[in-house]
A and B are shown apart, each in its own frame.
Chain A
Amino acid sequence: MQVGLKIWRYDSKTGDRALREYEIDAPEEATLLDCLDIVKDKHDGSLAFRKSCRMMICGSCGMRMDGGAVLACKVRMYDIAQEGRVPVIAAMGNLPIVKDLVVDMDPFWEKMRAVDPYLKPRYDQAQERENVIPAPQMSVIHKESLCINCGCCVSECNSMEVDPDFLGPAALAKGMRFVGDPRDGATIERLEKYSEPHGLWDCTRCYFCSERCPKGVDPRDAIAKLGAEAMKNGIDRDMGAKHARWFVTSAKTTGWLRETELVPKTQGIVSSIREMKFAMGLAVKGKVPPPFPPHVAAEVHESRALFDLVKSQDRNGAAGIVQGEKALGRIESHHDASRGRDPYTEADSAPRPYLPSEREETEGVTP
């Protein structure tokens, strides 16, 4: 098949950037990575990109296609070529470009190192055999342990674009991998560290990381779990934690969000006084409801019943974060058991397996 690609070339020596178009002949099963290989082999040997396993596990070939991060080896080109689309390929975002599609991953790894990315064992003395841990306890970190460090999440992170010091989705997911591990003994120390400025509360919850992750790690979910664990352990100095806590209190007591109290509860009194002028401006335009007396929702008992229900489930901390998990799981696995397909009786089904000996018994023939 004919495949067209536009590739952003970059020369770090001169700083020159150029969008070059390539027209190549590729086999129908070709991935984007295969196509880049063909460009390098037969069209321009100076094209630079990283590659190794070509099976979605080494994490080398993160890059951008039409503005979003992908693993090049995971993108099949057939449909794109059939539609006549010519995708634009570029280096990942939020990391310095070294050459063409190769970025400098050092900032990525520096942040990884900042979360102490290794087990700090709970026990003093090593056990003679393995630690005995019920499987469900390990499944808390199932998604986080799938990370291949490709950088696709970091490439798309909006917070990091504004604040390059933000720890970012990959490092925080790695952090959750240890906070959620029953064998790790540094939970509090970690949560304190990750709650510092540029830490977990600086995530803007845009979900681009979870959307772009090629492995289903779901970093935003990991960050939510870290936040919940931090609050469970009383680590809530950060405005983000205070903000979240006030949402809960407000909804529980009056059945809705008391916005005028949100600012002092989150930022503190002194900081709020500085916002008075802004608040007055809002009030003049009718944007601020009068704080006193607090408005109580008519059916507030329903809201309170919900809190009681959640409390009775005893899902504190990370265990309480179930938002979107099932839905994301389905997207990742593309599997819906309710479709009820029978893998053996459809028109194009492969034949039903049998052992030669069974056939001999039933038919009395030897093959």
Chain B
Amino acid sequence: MEPTYDVLVVGAGCAGMRAAIEAHDRGASVGVISKLHPTRSHSGAAEGGINAALGNTAEDSPEMHAFDTVKGSDYLGDQDAIEILAAEAPGDIYQLEHWGAVFSRNGEGRLDQRPFGAAGSPRTVYAADITGHVLIQVLYEQLQRRMTQGMKVYEEFFAFRLLVEDGRCTGVISWDLMNGGVTLIRGKSVILATGGVGRLYRATTNAYACTGDGMSMALREGLPLKDIEFMQFHPTTMYPSGILITEGCRGEGGYLINKDGERFMQRYAPNALELASRDVVSRSETTEIEAGRGVNGSVYLDLRHLGPEKILTKLPGSRELAMTYAGVDPIYAPIPVRPGAHYHMGGVETDNQGLTGIEGLYAAGEVACVSVHGANRLGGNSLMETITFGRRSGHAAAEYALGAPAVGNGGEAARADAETWIKSLLGNTQGERPWSIRDELGQTMLDNFGVFRRPEKMEQQVEVIAGLRERYDRGVVIEDKGDVFNTDLTQVIELGYLLDIASCMLQAGIARKESRGAHSRPYDFPERDDANFLRHSISHWKGDGPELTYGEVRMTKWEPMERTY
């Protein structure tokens, strides 16, 4: 019999680990599968901070946090979910601090909070500019503690298929990277926490691992992806690597300037300036660059006036990144930055407990769309979402599993079927290498479905994706035929995930004939259209491709207003 747990968590970033901890503490037996060792997860690359209305720096309230988030989402966020996030965030932050998170402190010894984009109060709790790293470490510390109490972590197991029996998810099929072989691990409930899909774009802040695995697995089991056209472009990613420079740089007072030194943000967001919402700043930068006021396809992030001491104490990691990857010491020279793909607001549709449309299957973090981010996420809200909704889904999954009947016996057939598929992939000797399809996809997505979306380019991209899909289906060659640490195999599977998500994004993007949040169509539909599109896009996979419907936005107390910063 396969190993069986009450709760099986797929992915071990902030959301997955927080969910695993909660499920364990609620009395469930917990297994965790991750294609990376947990501390390698991309949550660890988050830099700037995590939002909770503690009011340690200035007056604040969950109500203000919720409103900023609703407005930031361009009113597409589900307001009940946003209110939950804002209300429960402070308690979750205190919990992390009690576990030992090494946050930065203010003069009173309380958790310091810095200003962030589109936030009405300095609300962002942080640890210098390595907040994600600190969270990943503290969560893994707590995981290791629970590993002495029976929790099991399957590190470097590449999950590639969900086991759904009689409409209930009861396990995950994975490839054991270290030893090879297709393994079935069972869970009375399963939590997807596999993160985003930034690798769809050539210019991205995301790690190589961010390939939309969970989104595609869920999609292929018939689950809908919600608001999948909304990819956030972060305004300050370094040229040319796409590596993230935190919004904290602007929170600490950094300027954005064009080639003449002009702080151009004043012309686009006269009040918030550099701390406008991310979609607004990314569009402003792109406009500057397209008007010829950029340098090498970039603008500058200028920290020189902050002085060495502030840079060295509050932003040391950003300085190291700039020196290593752009050859620039921000104490003396500005950093070349441009918008880069950063975060997927859309994802697997869940309710406020993280439950998806399949019994026993939950999702949390970037893979999920609850939705708290709507059309545009505020900086600092994604880490908070991973913790709060990771905890909530861990709780719900444990509660369900502890009352659920045993899993069925139909797993072996599914595992054998998956094994046959892997063998066929490995056996293929005709065709091209995966990198050519991957690179072309990344470049064309950036060109045709980036910050500004032109109708003819989007149509063109549909053709491009179809062509790439055809080449992929014809067969790509895996040169590594071995069992041990075969990442040549896993990257081919990941490429399939990317193509699935790209198709859904384009269909939903073309159909959304308005400009809202990160979805901007300045050439044909420059305005927000609440009458027709204050709705979630819902993408299903039917046969060979996606099928689009719409769902209602859950509103509580905020009516849509014009959005200016």
Contacts and interface: CB of A to CB of B under 8 A. Distances in A.
Nearest to B300: A350
Contact of B102 (A13, A56, A141, A334): A141
Contacts of B148: 113
Contacts of B54: 129-130
A359 B104 CA distance: 38
A57 B130 contact: yes
Interface string A158-191: 0000000000000000000010010110000000
Most buried by A among B98, B106, B316: B98
A351 B262 CA distance: 9
B98 A127 contact: yes
A130 B479 CA distance: 53
Contacts of B334: 350
Contact of A52 (B40, B240, B479): B40
A44 B108 contact: no
A146 B259 CA distance: 35
Contacts of A333: 312, 316, 319
A46 B325 CA distance: 28
A147 B141 CA distance: 13
Interface string A47-83: 0101111111111100000000000001010000000
B208 interface: yes
B193 to A, nearest CB: 16
Contacts of B145: 118
B325 A146 contact: no
Interface in B257-271: 257, 259-264, 266-267
Contacts of B479: 44-46
B168 to A, nearest CB: 32
**Interface SS, A side:** loop
A178 B141 CA distance: 11
Contacts of B466: none
A48 B484 contact: yes
Most buried by B among A57, A113, A135, A137: A57
Nearest to A57: B45
A46 B320 contact: no
A109 to B, nearest CB: 8
Contacts of B104: 135
B433 A42 contact: yes
A117 interface: yes
B554 interface: no
Interface stretch (A195-203, A258-266, A271-279, A341-349): A341-349
A353 B40 CA distance: 38
A59 B40 contact: yes
B144 interface: yes
A148 B54 CA distance: 29
Contact of B144 (A13, A117, A351): A117
Contacts of B107: 135
A349 to B, nearest CB: 7
A48 B488 CA distance: 8
The 6 nearest A-B residue pairs measured at CB: A45-B479, A351-B261, A119-B100, A41-B435, A46-B480, A118-B141
Given A29-B240, A102-B485, A353-B255, 8 more contacts: A29-B241, A51-B208, A52-B208, A54-B208, A58-B207, A60-B40, A98-B484, A181-B102
17 contacts: A45-B478, A45-B479, A57-B317, A58-B45, A60-B37, A98-B484, A99-B482, A112-B144, A130-B93, A138-B105, A184-B100, A343-B333, A350-B257, A350-B334, A351-B261, A354-B262, A357-B266
